[in-house]
Amino acid sequence: MWRSFLRPGDCALIFLALLGTALSFPLLWQGGTGEKLVIRQEGALFLEVDLQTPREIRVPGPLGETRIVVEKGRARVVADPGPRQYCVRQGWISRAGEIAICAPNRVSLVIAGKNAPYDSLHY
Amino acid sequence: MIPSITELKVDADDLRVARLAAAAVGLSLADAAIPLPLPGVKPGLANIVALLVLARYGWMSAAWVSGLRVVAGSLLLGQFLAPGFFLSLAGAIFSLAALALAQYLPARWFGMVSWSLLASFAHIAGQVMLARLWLVPHDGVFRLTPVFALAALVFGVLNGLIACRLQRDFMPEK
């Protein structure tokens, strides 16, 4: 009975609205994705890389070498000479404001977006 | 009683608009009483009245009914000139603008469900824009867009169907 109220254009419009709504979900849900990885050594800028270009980076520190891998919009520390391995266990970081710090080796990773949502180092 | 100096001429049109606006106010109170998880997500039942008025009496009457509904409804809810009032006002203005265009869609293909859907999406567009410009000046507001769009879709279709049903049952000629 309710179907009889729907004219062809109505159905087309409902379909369009459904499509638009469905498409808006993943598009807007991710939000705050990072664009760049900022690597610091001893507090000084070591390297700034684009998160979309896959690459491996070796950062020398007082204890040895920290190895960082960047791929598909995310980054992680794969190896670090530090004793507790906190930054390695942090895993992948991808959102603006996320950090990984290898304190013993004085290396820090920060994901930078267009505009940082908050300062996670000083907060 | 002292006779009033100014005399307001009330014609049949005014009475009709007032009556319909009262119905719309009643429905917007019912709206406010329905608990929903997110602030800003509402069925917008009062828009059913706006749709029927547009179908029967034209856009000008629909604009009057919606405008009066927003003002009187917010007075009754104690929201007059509060943020919620401006959000409803923005929504009403945008959906009336959408309806002004939608009424010229060929009736053979597009019925009140289309009007309702266009109006509900215009409504959330207006509200999200006002919220971004004024209430929450941060792009994070846009992340709620999918939720609002879903609400607009569901309630837009439902309100349109209810309006069709009411038109068939209570406004047989036309």
Range of the domain at A41: 36-112
ipTM entry: 0.82
For residue B145, what pLDDT band results from cuts at 50, 70 and 90? confident
For residue B174, what pLDDT band results from cuts at 50, 70 and 90? very low
Evaluate whether A66 touches A59 at the Cβ level (below 8 Å). Answer: yes
- Residues A19 and A44 reside in one and the same domain: no
Q: Which of B103, B105, B114 is the best substitution to test chain A (most A C-beta atoms within 10 A)?
A: B114
List chain B residues with CB under 8 Å of A18.
153
pLDDT for the residue numbered B37: 75
Q: Which of A10, A29, A95 is the best substitution to test chain B (most B C-beta atoms within 10 A)?
A: A10
- The CA distance from A36 to A94, in Å, is 9
- Residues A89 and A108 reside in one and the same domain: yes
> Mean pLDDT, to the nearest integer, of B13-19?
91
- Residues A41 and A98 reside in one and the same domain: yes
Helices (H), chain A: 8-29, 86-89
Do A10 and B160 lie within an 8 Å CB cutoff? Answer: yes
- Residues A25 and A44 reside in one and the same domain: no
- The CA distance from A98 to A91, in Å, is 11
- The CA distance from B32 to B78, in Å, is 12
DSSP string over B109-166: T--HHHHHHHHHHHHHHHHHHHIIIII--SGGGGGGHHHHHHHHHHHHHHHHHHHHHH
Confirm or reject contact between B82 and chain A (CB < 8 A): no
Note the pLDDT tens digit of each residue in B24-38: 999 999 988 888 877
- The CA distance from B151 to B99, in Å, is 19
- Residues A52 and A101 reside in one and the same domain: yes
Res. A32: pLDDT tops 70? no
Q: Phi then psi for B5, rounded to 5 degrees?
A: -75, -50
- Residues A88 and A40 reside in one and the same domain: yes
> Mean pLDDT, to the nearest integer, of A77-100?
89
- Residues A2 and A50 reside in one and the same domain: no
- The CA distance from A79 to A89, in Å, is 10
For residue B143, CA distances in Å to A26, A70, B25, B106, B147 come to 10, 27, 31, 35, 8
The residue behind tokens 């104690």 is B78
CB pairs under 8 A between A and B: 65
Q: Considering the domain boundaries, does residue A103 fall inside one? A: yes
- Residues A40 and A25 reside in one and the same domain: no
> Mean pLDDT, to the nearest integer, of A16-32?
78
- Residues A87 and A42 reside in one and the same domain: yes
- Residues A44 and A8 reside in one and the same domain: no
Q: CA nearest A73: which of A108, A110, A35? A: A35
Note the pLDDT tens digit of each residue in B60-109: 999 999 999 999 999 998 989 988 899 999 999 999 999 999 999 998 89
List chain B residues with CB under 8 Å of A6.
111, 113
List chain A residues with CB under 8 Å of B159.
none
3-state helix/strand/coil string of B46-94: HHHHHHHHHHHHCHHHHHHHHHHHHHHHHHHHCCCCCHHHHHHHHHHHH
Q: How many domains does chain A have?
A: 2
pLDDT for the residue numbered A18: 93
CATH of B12-170, one of 3.40.50.850, 1.10.1760.20, 3.40.50.1970, 3.40.50.1110: 1.10.1760.20
Candidate from A2, A21, A24 with C-beta closest to B161: A2
Confirm or reject contact between A19 and chain B (CB < 8 A): no
**What's the mean pLDDT when you consider all of chain A?**
84
List chain B residues with CB under 8 Å of A2.
161, 165
Check which CATH number belongs to the domain holding A62 and give it.
2.60.320.10
> Mean pLDDT, to the nearest integer, of A49-70?
90
Q: Considering the domain boundaries, does residue A122 fall inside one? A: no
